[in-house]
Amino acid sequence: MAVRTIDVRERIMARNDELAQQVRERLREAGVPALNLVSSPGAGKTLLLERTLADLGDELVISVVTGDVQTQNDADRLARHTDRLVQAVITNGACHLDAKQVLTALDAIDLAATDLLFIENVGNLVCPASWDLGENAKIVLFSVTEGEDKPVKYPKMFQQARTVVFTKLDLLPHVPFKLERAIEFCRQVNPELQFLSTAALTPDGLDEWYGFLWAEARSGARGKRG
């Protein structure tokens, strides 16, 4: 009997990337910009989205897909601030969302009536960097209660991201975090990064963020008209 060698040479992420392309295509056709929010656990993704839905929900139609290892607590929190469907994906142990889960979640979302889609990924700075979800951009939330050197510890995530959103800026006087040093580390791994500062528990702490979101939504609206 002979042992035969079958040549395969196929990328292990090929299937995910193919599905991500389908997500990207559906979003492009509908003119919906999609932002994939990634961070360490506890950086403030859900709070940022709660405030965003409460403050912009009357002017922008925002849909959300949330990913959690267990529970749909985040989706329940967000649903209190919007009458739009918040799609919860429970990954059952997996530490990231994949393109198949997002593609399935899109089936329940009225994309034609959506201005902006958020994908709230599982809190993890490692694996979500490797999984393309068909998003327009990965946005890393980086809280001032973390170490400034997160970008050099988790370079792939910061290399994949387009924007870093610093969160909990109102805590800056009480923690040893140095914003300039954190920005330096970010630029070491990705000189193209754009930076935003937020403080979701203060009244005007999200102005810069909202300016950014309006610009994103307007880019999608141009796609809708086109």
Partner 1 sequence: MHELGLALEVCRMTEERLGADGMAQVRAVGVEIGDDAGIEVGNFQFCLETLLAEPPFRGAHPVILRRPGDVLRLAYLEVDDGRPDD
Q: Catalog residues that contact partner 1 under the rule CB under 8 A.
A: 1-13, 15-16, 93-96, 126-127, 129-130, 156
Query: Residue for token digits 């991201």?
Result: 161
Q: How far is the CB of 179 from partner 1 (least distance, A)?
A: 27
**Of the two residues 60 and 122, which places its CB atom closer to partner 1 in the complex?**
122
**Of the two residues 123 and 205, which places its CB atom closer to partner 1 in the complex?**
123
Report d(CA 73, CA 9) in Å as an integer. 41
How many CB atoms are located within 10 Å of the residue 5 CB? 6
3-state secondary structure 56-125: HCCCCCEEEEEEECCCCHHHHHHHCCCCCCEEEEECCCCCCCCHHHHHHHHCCCCHHHCCEEEEECCCCC
Report d(CA 37, CA 139) in Å as an integer. 5
Q: How far is the CB of 76 from partner 1 (least distance, A)?
A: 24
**Of the two residues 4 and 225, which places its CB atom closer to partner 1 in the complex?**
4
Q: How far is the CB of 64 from partner 1 (least distance, A)?
A: 24
Q: How far is the CB of 129 from partner 1 (least distance, A)?
A: 7
Report d(CA 226, CA 224) in Å as an integer. 5
> For residue 169, what is the DSSP state?
G
Q: Pull the structure tokens for residue 42.
A: 């506890």
Report d(CA 33, CA 118) in Å as an integer. 9
**Of the two residues 95 and 137, which places its CB atom closer to partner 1 in the complex?**
95
Report d(CA 126, CA 105) in Å as an integer. 23
Q: Which 3 state secondary structure label does DSSP give 143?
A: strand
**Of the two residues 9 and 222, which places its CB atom closer to partner 1 in the complex?**
9
**Of the two residues 98 and 216, which places its CB atom closer to partner 1 in the complex?**
98
Q: How far is the CB of 160 from partner 1 (least distance, A)?
A: 10
Question: Smallest Cα–Cα separation from 171: which of 143, 134, 204?
Answer: 143
